[in-house]
Structure 1
Amino acid sequence: MQLQQQVSQCSDREQIQSVQRESSFPGLLVNFDRAEAVRVDGELYSRLCIKTPLVTCGVNLEGFVQEYAEPFLQPGDILIITEKIVAITQGRAMPVEKIRPSLLARFLSRFVTRTSYGIGLAMPETMECALRECGRIRILFAAGIGAVGRLLGKRGWFYQIAGIQASGIDGPCDCTIPPYNRWVVLSPKNASEVAVRIRDSLQVEGVEVAVIDFNDIGGEIIGWSDDRMDLLLLKKILADNPLGQGNDQTPIGIVRIV
């Protein structure tokens, strides 16, 4: 199968050129058809996006956040950062052409269901990354459990066993900003430690940081700067993926109670 055929295609929403509008806070944006604010558990929260240059390997993430996000922060804000830019700055991204999948990866990838929001492990190169990240035994066990789940009409068992290091792998996708539309990005390492470092580097007091992995059907908080943060509440606030998924180029944002 040619690489072009394997690359995840964009959904109808993602094929539309990103349309961003100014929020009620100068300099901060709202993506496409997302609402600026949502009401959750009786409180109103703004979800504010920050447009940035393309992030590349070797960028100092703390300095990047200080330059592009800190001028907009207020005490009480939660700074949200996509897992993809954390992984990229850690050097955990590579061109798909440089990955040489094993026979096992080619075999297992055939049984992964492709979805509209990403190719996941449904191509040999991303499955090979999962085997390297998680180990063959764990992936084989997860594949067996996943097969049982499918027989019972249950989905998601594979990723529950394989873990976040597998579920967090992002494959190439036409709607992603080049060059990452032809790259594989792994799940970041030590996301909570990264969140703590970023928080501690800020001059604005009272700000917490979350590393998030969301797409247009939901997501997870994979790193946080304080164990007292209400992660379930934050997931509800971010349920519609306000930072976007295509070429929005808004990898960081702010959650602010209104």
Structure 2
Amino acid sequence: MDLTANDGKKLTISVDGTEYQRIPIKTPLVLAGEKLVPFVVQHASPHLVDGDILFITEKIVAITQGRSYPLDEIKVRPLAAFLSRYVQKTPYGIGLGMPETMEMALRECGTPRILLAAAVAAVTKAVGRKGDFYRIAGPKARGIDGPTHNTIPPYNQQVVLAPAQPRKVAQEVKAALGSRVDVAIVDINDLGGNILGSTVDRAADARLARILADNPLGQGHQSTPLGVIRRVTGEAA
């Protein structure tokens, strides 16, 4: 197995005194209509050993579920265009800061929930508190990915929603790979991230989030939607 980190990323990290490798797996581009489980088994199996944790980016899960939408097919309502103007944009992703992603948030979460989140955030942001919009809007809103200049075509012209039933997906992948490994569906970017669903317990989920906190796969043109977490034995690598 090629134990090489992506450019600008570290292969190993220490969490609670234990060293872990985070090994990226390069794959072909995943397209809508592709079956996730066979894809993962084909490209991940040769790289796995007993005790590994395979982590899968939420984006390829959502794409294979048909949850990606070309921008020109999204009919944006005036409310979405209005609300998107007040979303803070970062260098790491557009979030809901464009009319098309906000429109999909309204559809996914419901207009009342998004309006409540926006109203609360407007008040709390004025007193210096951040994060209330996504806390109230929920994980479906937080998981919506819009296109950026680094996004691989054709997804540089698409909005990708959060995956459906990520824990069930993780269990299905684990069953196909066998009991020797665990599986996690992750939403990680350069600002941090979350474990959306996994075959480990919640305490282990929290540790996984810390192991992946520096986004070892990156989020540009790396074409590494899969990765392996491997505990390092003996001396730290």
Corresponding position of 1:161: 136
How big is the shift at 1:227? 2.7
Describe the SS at the equivalent of 1:249: coil
In the alignment, is residue 186 of structure 1 matched against residue 167 of structure 2? no
- Aligned equivalents of 2:106, 2:13: Cα separation in 1: 39
* Amino acid in the other structure paired with 2:101: T
Gaps of 5+ in 1: 1-25
Aligned to 1:148: 123
- Alignment map for 1:190-201 (pairs within 5 Å): 190-201=165-176
Matched, 1:244 2:221: no
Q: SS state of the match for residue 81, structure 1?
A: strand
SS at match of 2:55: strand
Partner residue, 2:191:
217
Shift of 1:172: 1.1
Matched with 1:81 is 56
Partner secondary structure for residue 59 of structure 1? coil
d(CA) in 2 for partners of 1:42 and 1:209?
23
Is 2:208 the partner of 1:234? yes
2:177 to 202, 207, 221: 202
Query: What does residue 103 of structure 1 align with?
Result: 78
In structure 2, what residue type is equivalent to 1:133? E
Aligned residues of 1:28 and 1:50 also touching (Cα < 8 A):
no
Count of residue correspondences: 232
Q: TM-score, normalised by structure 1?
A: 0.88
Runs of 4+ in 1 over 6 A off after TM superposition: none
Percent of residue pairs identical = 53
Q: Deviations over 1:9-46 (max 9, x none)?
A: xxxxxxxxxxxxxxxxx335410121111111111100
Shift of 1:141: 0.5
Q: Does the CA contact (< 8 Å) of 2:62 and 2:161 recur in 1?
A: yes
Question: Residue in 1 aligned with 2:14?
Answer: 39
Query: Residue 96 of structure 1 contacts residue 172 of structure 1 at CA under 8 Å; is this kept in 2?
Result: no
Local SS of the residue matching 1:240: coil
TM-score by length of 2: 0.95
Q: How many angstroms does 1:230 deviate by?
A: 0.6
Which AA in structure 2 matches 1:257? R
- Corresponding letter in the other structure for 1:102: R
Q: Deviations over 1:155-199 (max 9, x none)?
A: 110000000100110011110110101110000010011000000
The Cα RMSD (Å) is 1.1
Structure 1 residue 72 displacement after superposition = 1.0
Structure 2: gaps (5+ residues): 233-237
Distance 2:33 2:73 in 1: 19
Aligned mate of 1:136, from 111, 122, 130: 111
Instruction: Summarize the Cα distance change of 1:230–1:249 in structure 2 as closer, same or farther, 3 Å threshold.
Output: same
1:69 aligns with 2:53: no
Specify the SS of the correspondent of 1:160. Answer: helix
Greater shift, 224-233 or 180-189, is seen at 224-233
